[in-house]
Structure 1
Amino acid sequence: MKTVIFDLDGTLADTSGDLIAAANHCFRAMGEGDVLDPSKDAGTALRGGRAMLRLGMTRLGRADDAATLDRYYPVLLEAYGASIDVHTKLYPHAMEAVAHLKDMGYGVGICTNKPEALAETLLRRLGVRDNFMSMIGADTLPTRKPDPEPLYEAARRAGGDPMQCVLIGDSDTDRNTAKAAGVPCVLVTFGPAGGDMAALEPEALLQDFADLPQIVDRLLA
Structure 2
Amino acid sequence: MLHIGFPSTQLVKQTFSIPSPMAKGAGQQKNRAGWLGRWHRLRGFQHDTSGASALEFAIVAAPLILLLLAVLQLGIVFFANFMLESATARGARLIRTGQAQTQGLDAAKFKQEVCKQLTALISCSNLKLDVRSYPSFGGAAAGLTSPLGADGKLKSAFSYDPGSPGDVVVVRAFYPLDIGTVLPTEVNLSNMAGGNRLIVATSAFRNEPYE
TM bucket normalised to smaller:
under 0.3
Structure ranking higher on relative contact order (CA contacts 8 Å, 6+ apart): 1
TM-score, structure 2 normalization: 0.22
